Every structure is written in structure tokens, then in C-alpha cells.
Amino acid sequence: MHYRTGKLIPMLIAILFITLVIGCQTTSSAAIPSETMTVNEVAIIDPGYSNRDLEGTWDAETATSISLNGSSIAISGAGATASGGQLTISTAGVYVLSGTLDKGQIIVDAADSDKVQIVLNGVSITCPDSAPIYVKQADKVFLTLGEGTKNTITDGATYILADGEEEPDAAIFSKEDLTINGSGELIVKANYNNGITSKDDLIITGGDIIVNSARDGLRGRDMVAIYGGAFVINADGDGIKSNNDKDTDKGWVSIDGGTFEITAGNDGIQAETIAQITGGTITIKTGGGSAEASVARQNDMRPGWGKDQAEQTDASESTKGIKGKTAVYVTGGNINIDSKDDSLHSNGDICITAGTLILSAGDDGIHADASVVVNGGTIHITNSYEGVEGKTIVINGGEIHVTASDDGINAADGSTAPVFGGTTPEEF
């Protein structure tokens, strides 16, 4: 089905059944004609998970063993030194940590060609004035969660930073590529700012991970890719975020598996470029949920049609479920979103080819400033101001059920000027 501003172009090519509940009026299963339209194949990103990203194994016989003993550290093996409660890893290798560090820090400061693996094998690390785990330099760091272990990382509400510095700013902070793997449990209590941050790539392929953060939960500047694991994220800011706005090939988020329970003050999942969901079970609540929505309207028209809320006010106020500024792609997975603002939002395009989506939105269920394309999947929009909104909307398949207080499906260019004999873009 292809809608253009102010008119419906009927061409009976395929049949799609859509249930619409608009305002107080209900129409039951209705046959809606679909127009054939050539749509470019979705450019799904390949995160390129390596074997080492996925495996989460190590050789205990060759690893350096490190025992954390309250305020001191004991090392058995090469590649690391300790001073009081501070451990510094300076060469490539595998380092297995166990025990409790009350007021200390783990620092990686190796050559920029070194790959370092840190195995958390039952640790509790607290640093009251900086990042408990701080990667200053390496080629890549693997943070492996030992099977059957519980690991807790806690920072303080205030960091002591060098003059002119703003980093580190997360309980687990890396300036380099960071992979988290293994099957153990990781609890991050981030009282200062973010929970887990990489200034480059953040990859997670396993583990039971709980993050409670004063700002963002998981953040990878260049990209965030998640292959598996079980996540509970409570973030005052964004739940999962990639924010590189300098390189159009970066700033993306890919969720390829795992289970997620995300409660965020702002966006649930936010990508500077593309947000893609290829698998997993995802539950998101943002801004207190759709019941907290307060959208200003005059004569049933919303001011600033098509504008990201972040552009209207302040970026911190964006409360969308999944947001990709360039595009949002959904090719699989089970997604359940209760959002104060749009549930799915893109300043560009949205394409849905498979998966199950249950969306309750304080504003639009699905909103794209450019095109919305639905090729398949099952979509239940249980609450919304407008169900599906975009400049153009193409529905080639799938099953869609919409409950909306205004339009169920609305294709418009954002203009409020009357067109086609007085019909506005909000009406068709």
C-alpha cells in the first residue's frame, strides 16, 4: 500500500488485513489494496563478530592470576603491576581476577597493538572517585565473565579528574574496542554517569548483565553490537546508545540476539545512524511509558510535524523506544515497547521485514520523516496518537493492528496547508 499526500492510490496487487481503531470508531478486518513498488534492498549491517568475541574462553595454565584482597593486590605471573589498590596491565595476555577490591582500580595501559583479556572470575571492585575498570590504551580488550561467577563493579557519585579532562565517565570505561563475553553475571552500579562505555566499538556476546546508571546504560561511540546475553538496564538517560556523528559509517546499533529489559528516562535504544534489530527479545519502557505522554495539540494537529523531539527542545528530553536517525531496520525478534514518545522513530527511513512488534506510544507507534516500508512481520500498535506515520508508506505484506486516537495510517509531507480541495495531510 502506498499513500501519498492527500490521496490514496488504489491498485489491487496484494491483500493485507489491517484492523484499525481510530478515535472511538472501529472498523473490523478490511481488505486494503496494495500498490507494487520497487524498494531497494535493506542494507543490513554485518557486525563482523570474531571467534574470539564469541568464545569467551581462556587457558588458565598460561594466564596471569590476580587476587584482589580488600585494599591490596597479589599477582602471580607477568604483564601487570600493583601499587596499593591499583592494578596496571601493560602487555598483551590473559589476566584472571578474583576477590574484592574496596577502594581500587583496574587500568589497562598497553601498546596500541596489544590484545588484552581480563577474566572476571568472581570479583567485587569499588572505586569511589573514578572508573573501577579503565582502559587507557590497547588494541582491543576482552572482558570475560567466568562461568558461574558473580561480578560487581561500583563507582562513586563524583570523579576526581585531571585538569581539563572529562574522562573517564563510566563505571567500565574504554578508549579502545571493548568486547564483553562469557556466561557469568556482571552487575554495574554506575552512580556518576554511564554504566559501560567504549570510545570505539562495544561488542557484547554473552553474560547476565545488570546495569543501573545515572546516565546511559551501554554506550559505544563508533558502534554497539550485541549477539547474545541477558540484560536488565535501568538508565536515567538512554538505555543503549551509539553517538558517533562524525563518520556516516559509524554510530550504529545492531541487536542480533539476547533478552533485554530496558527502562530508560530517555530513549531505549538510540543510534546516531542506523538502529537495526535482527533478533532477540526486547522489552523497553521510556519516560515512564505512554501513559506519561503530554503532546501539545491544537485542533488535533501537532506542532513541528516530523521533527525529532530532540530538535524541538533538548536532546535529553527524547523518550523514544528505538531511534535511528538515518534508519531503523527490523528483520526479526520480539519487540515490546511502552514509550512516552514514538515507539519506533527515524529521521530517515523505517523498514520492517519480519518479527513481532507490540507498541504502545504516547505519540506515534511508528514514525519516519521519510519512508515507512513494511514487507512482513506482525505489528500490534495498542495505543498511539497516530499509528504509522511517514512521508510515504509502503505496505507489501505483514499483519498490522492499530489503535490510534487520530489517524491509523498517515502519509504526509509535514505541510499543514490544505491540498486537494481542502484535505490536509492529516486526513485521507
Give pLDDT tens digits for 371-424. 999 999 999 999 999 999 999 999 999 999 999 999 999 997 644 433 333 333
- The mean predicted confidence, pLDDT, of the chain is 86
Strand, helix or coil at 52?
A: helix
How many Å apart are CA 328 and CA 322, to the nearest integer?
8
The end-to-end CA distance of the chain, in Å, is 14
> Average pLDDT of 345-362?
97
Residue 304 has pLDDT above 80, yes or no: no
Give pLDDT tens digits for 241-298. 999 999 999 999 999 999 999 999 999 999 999 999 999 999 999 999 999 985 433 3
Give pLDDT tens digits for 148-188. 999 999 999 999 998 989 999 999 999 999 999 999 999 99
Across the strands, what pairs with 20? 27, 402
Residue 14 has pLDDT above 60, yes or no: no
Q: What is the DSSP string of 68-106?
A: EEETEEEEESSSEEEETTEEEE-SSEEEEEEEEESS-EE
> Average pLDDT of 212-217?
98
Would you state the pLDDT for residue 413?
Answer: 61
Q: Give the start-to-end residue ranges of the domains of the chain.
A: 37-62+108-406
The answer for residues whose C-beta is within 8 angstroms of residue 186's C-beta and 6 or more apart is 120, 145, 151, 152, 153, 180, 207, 208, 209, 210
Place of cell 564469541: 54
Would you state the pLDDT for residue 317?
Answer: 83
Would you state the pLDDT for residue 412?
Answer: 79
Check if the beta carbon of residue 347 is closer than 8 Å to that of residue 331. no
Question: Model-level pTM?
Answer: 0.87
